[in-house]
Chains A and B, each alone.
Chain A
């Protein structure tokens, strides 16, 4: 083959044509770090989703940062009591944008089986929730499906319209 054809072949293998949105979103969704916020029994299922069989690491999420300053996803796993609710809000406020919230389990979605004086009836009363994963507790596979929905949502966002670049 002539030289030009060789060069063309090499270029085809190493140069991609894409949009800024796609690359930006792909980078964001492939390594989304959750802040570990296991409050009650759903935390056990979250830990099971992070362990060997239902690996969360294939989504880039096995690093559960204990500090909210380094995280960009908050998995509210468990019952939010009224005593704990201001602290949940505090941790959410400390996360830098872009941040997402995933409500795991019936208690985080709407109070679950506990309609009592001590339980906040759902995380969406104090936080903006993006994905709801129902179940009591949801199976680890259900949590992974929730992650995939979140990834779809991230891929469909465009940097021209997102809220954190509008300030």
Chain B
């Protein structure tokens, strides 16, 4: 099924969830965060998009965005179907996890949580993956002060004990 057909099917099936279809970018659709599980299940089962290649987050001035690049292995699409989720809440951004639908989202959601601070509800193991629990802040946000740390500064933030 080509990306245009997927786009039109999505718009007619979930009209209230679609927030924005940017005209200049091909096959991109933005949806509400509450509709993520339904839309993900729909795209996986009925549109045949079974390969999640990329899951990242963007920090814009007024909102966070979570971007999913979806491909279809069976139909051999030549361009990804891009799904964006606009999160208006900048204090505690949260979105349902798509790990039950696409297994490849597991580590990528952990990376988005680690570096951007977006919580994914329903994720089986939401821990920080590149830094350690207790590291002050989320580095890839725009308001993170980009500086070097010394070993002594980070010493109290490290976990102690057997899990170290």
Contact = CB atoms under 8 A, between A and B. Distances in A.
A111 B132 CA distance: 20
B147 A86 contact: no
Contact of A83 (B132, B139, B147, B150): B132
Given A83-B131, A83-B132, A86-B164, A115 B158 contact: no
B151 A118 contact: no
Contact of A125 (B144, B146, B151, B164): B151
B164 A121 contact: no
Select the residue from B139, B147, B148 with max chain A CB neighbours within 10 A: B148
A121 B149 CA distance: 8
Contacts, number: 30
A117 B149 contact: yes
B19 interface: no
Contacts of B151: 82, 85, 120, 125-126
Contacts of A121: 148, 150
Given A82-B154, A86-B158, A86-B164, A115 B148 contact: yes
Nearest to A120: B151
Nearest to B137: A117
Interface in B129-164: 130-132, 139, 144, 146-151, 154, 158, 164
Contacts of B132: 83
A117 B148 contact: yes
Nearest to B154: A82
Interface in A115-149: 115-121, 125-126
Contacts of A83: 130-132
Q: Is the interface of A mostly helix, strand, loop or mixed?
A: loop
B19 to A, nearest CB: 33
A126 B130 CA distance: 21
A120 B154 CA distance: 11
Nearest to B136: A117
B110 to A, nearest CB: 14
Interface in A51-94: 82-83, 85-86
Contacts of A117: 139, 144, 146-149
Contacts of A116: 146, 148
- Complex A-B, nearest 3 residue pairs according to Cβ-Cβ distance, in ascending order: A117-B139, A126-B151, A115-B148
Interface of A: 82-83, 85-86, 111, 115-121, 125-126
22 contacts: A82-B131, A82-B149, A82-B151, A82-B154, A83-B130, A83-B131, A83-B132, A86-B158, A115-B148, A116-B146, A116-B148, A117-B144, A117-B146, A117-B147, A118-B130, A118-B139, A119-B148, A121-B148, A121-B150, A125-B150, A125-B151, A126-B151
Given A85-B151, A119-B148, A121-B150, 14 more contacts: A82-B131, A82-B154, A83-B131, A86-B158, A115-B148, A117-B144, A117-B147, A117-B149, A118-B139, A120-B151, A121-B148, A125-B150, A125-B151, A126-B151
